[in-house]
Amino acid sequence: MRPNGPVAAVLLATGIGSVVLAVLVVLAEAKEKFADSLAYDLEVGPLSGKTIWATAAFLISWAVLALVLRRRDVSLGGVAVVTGILLAIALVGTFSPFFELFAPD
Q: Is the pTM of this model over 0.85?
A: yes
How far is it, in rounded angstroms, from Cα 85 to Cα 13?
13
In the chain, % helix, strand, coil (3-state, to 5) comes to: 75, 0, 20
Quick: pLDDT tens for 30-62.
999 999 999 999 899 999 999 999 999 999 999
Share of the chain above pLDDT 90, in %: 93
* 29 neighbors 103 (Cβ within 8 angstroms): yes
* 7 neighbors 75 (Cβ within 8 angstroms): no
Quick: pLDDT tens for 55-103.
999 999 999 999 999 999 999 999 999 999 999 999 999 999 999 999 9
pLDDT at position 77 is 96
How far is it, in rounded angstroms, from Cα 93 to Cα 3?
33
How far is it, in rounded angstroms, from Cα 51 to Cα 48?
5
